[in-house]
Amino acid sequence: MFTPDPDRFLADLHHLRSFGASGVGKGVVRPAFSPEDIAARDWLATRMEEAGLTPHVDPAGNLFGLGDGPGLLLGSHSDTQPEGGWLDGALGVIAALEVVRAAREAGRTDLSVVSFQDEEGRFGVTTGSALWSGAITLDQADPLTDRDGLSFGAARTALGDRPGDWIDPARFTGFLEMHIEQGPVLDRSGDRIAVVTDIVGIRDMRITLSGEQNHAGTTPMALRRDAFQGLAEIATRLDTRLAGIAGAATVWTIGHVALHPNTSSIVPGKAVFSMQWRDGDTDRLDAMERAIRETVTEIAAARDLGAAFGPMRGIDPVAMDPGLRAGLEAAAATLSPGAWRKLPSGALHDAANLAARMPAAMLFVPSIGGISHAFAEDTDEADLTLGLKVLAHAVAQRNG
């Protein structure tokens, strides 16, 4: 048995927040491969070393703190959204560090820690863990670009001489990830812990509409080939069409739009936008893709616009490992009796990729107001430390 130290855990969690602190509440801006992200990972590597672990950066920029193995791998990611909170990913990494550190102090040395790179999808979708788990190759990842056109391949040169080789996944017996819920269920129900049953599937694609850039004063309305008007019609029509396919938990989002040249006196000649959709059912995800492609193609044709679909990125829905789940459920029942539940995850997580390579499971703590991917993201510290204890309890009950 071993006991994690809540004060040391919270101190490290707050320190990690200082890398990229936004100055707005507890918000953080630490996108993958930014100077703040790399500095945070250098600090994490130092903390891992101080705990007796061997830090190792792989070619994707994933940071491992290796124990003696074979044993469990614990962790999450430490990159953030362009406007992110202090807990999304960071919580799982620091909880992992504290649990593994406490275990080592008690003489158990098989456990390892990881902070995956680009979970937040600046370039791909959970790019670091997708690469490490073999879902994609570096040849496929390197050309992926962020919204400003920077490629994953170019971005990872910022790692300098840090990367070594890939770590063999076979040295780990399973993966446990602690995370904030990022939704309203626990906050509303009053439960303090959730054990994740499944992680939804996601599809994400960049779509380009090409029209004709022209003068906004002299071009008659009937002669315009306005890329923005095409996008506006697509967004409205898709809301209706996808609602006809959707189940209760289906979601879709146009979250990023770039107009060219994006100024008031020019009819936009180009609109590039992100189209993302999520659901727990692969058939429904496929049906939504067909509806999206058809709608875009129809509206583009009617408006004499070009339509180009970028590569589609995604992950299929995945169930968490029953054995690891049972351990988390037993720990939750012991430490949070009557105040925990089972819950599917509508957010994506590195555990979804790892499930293809090893048993993987997750636990959630509440998000205040259900807010995440925003500077306002937060969780009561009592819930953070309860989650830490549940994670430690589940790990301690499992040998190897």
* Smallest separation, CB 145 to ligand GLV (Å): 18
One of 66, 348, 388, 396 touching ligand GLV (CB under 6 A): 348
- Contact segment (CB under 5 A) with Mn ion among 81-89, 139-147, 246-254, 268-276 equals 81-89
Binder of residue 348, out of Mn ion, ligand GLV, none (CB less than 5 to 8 A by kind)? ligand GLV
- Contact between 75 and Mn ion by CB under 5 A: the answer reads no
Could you say which residues in the range 176-205 bind ligand GLV, by CB under 6 A?
none
Q: Is 293 exposed, middle or buried (0-12, 13-18, 19+ CB in 10 A)?
A: middle
Classified as helix, coil or strand, 195 is strand
Q: What is the rounded distance in angstroms from the CA atom of residue 396 to the CA atom of residue 390?
A: 10
Residue 201 one-letter amino acid: G
Nearer to ligand GLV, 120 or 187 (CB): 120
- Contact between 37 and Mn ion by CB under 5 A: the answer reads no
Could you say which residues in the range 84-123 bind ligand GLV, by CB under 6 A?
120
Nearer to Mn ion, 27 or 89 (CB): 89
208: nearest Cα among 150, 278, 281, 259? 259
* Six-digit token string for 343: 């819950």
Q: What is the rounded distance in angstroms from the CA atom of residue 52 to the CA atom of residue 219?
A: 69
Q: Judge contact between 191 and 339, C-beta under 8 A.
A: yes
Binder of residue 226, out of Mn ion, ligand GLV, none (CB less than 5 to 8 A by kind)? none
- Contact between 12 and ligand GLV by CB under 6 A: the answer reads no
* Smallest separation, CB 348 to ligand GLV (Å): 4
The counts of H helices and E strands in the chain are 12, 17
Binder of residue 321, out of ligand GLV, Mn ion, none (CB less than 5 to 8 A by kind)? none
* Smallest separation, CB 353 to ligand GLV (Å): 12
Q: Is 349 exposed, middle or buried (0-12, 13-18, 19+ CB in 10 A)?
A: buried
Classified as helix, coil or strand, 387 is helix
Q: What is the rounded distance in angstroms from the CA atom of residue 222 to the CA atom of residue 389?
A: 65
Q: Judge contact between 373 and 81, C-beta under 8 A.
A: yes
- Contact between 130 and ligand GLV by CB under 6 A: the answer reads no
- Contact between 28 and ligand GLV by CB under 6 A: the answer reads no
Q: Judge contact between 117 and 99, C-beta under 8 A.
A: no
Cis amide linkage into residue 261, ω under 30° from 0:
yes
Q: How many residues bind ligand GLV (CB under 6 A)?
A: 3
One of 20, 27, 89, 268 touching Mn ion (CB under 5 A): 89
- Contact between 55 and Mn ion by CB under 5 A: the answer reads no
- Contact segment (CB under 5 A) with Mn ion among 56-64, 83-91, 331-339, 376-384 equals 83-91
Site string for ligand GLV, 209-228 (x = CB under 6 A): --------------------
One of 93, 176, 305, 347 touching ligand GLV (CB under 6 A): 347
* Six-digit token string for 376: 């306002």
Classified as helix, coil or strand, 265 is coil
Q: What is the rounded distance in angstroms from the CA atom of residue 235 to the CA atom of residue 375?
A: 27
- Contact between 204 and Mn ion by CB under 5 A: the answer reads no
- Contact between 74 and ligand GLV by CB under 6 A: the answer reads no
Q: Judge contact between 237 and 275, C-beta under 8 A.
A: no
* Smallest separation, CB 28 to Mn ion (Å): 11
Residue 318 one-letter amino acid: V
- Contact segment (CB under 5 A) with Mn ion among 80-88, 189-197, 213-221, 296-304 equals 80-88
One of 36, 58, 88, 118 touching Mn ion (CB under 5 A): 88
* Six-digit token string for 74: 């614990």
Nearer to ligand GLV, 228 or 252 (CB): 252
- Give phi and psi for 124, each to the nearest 5: -120, -140
* Smallest separation, CB 76 to Mn ion (Å): 6
Q: What is the rounded distance in angstroms from the CA atom of residue 8 to the CA atom of residue 5?
A: 5
Instruction: Tell me which residues touch Mn ion (CB under 5 A).
Output: 88-89
Instruction: Tell me which residues touch ligand GLV (CB under 6 A).
Output: 120, 347-348
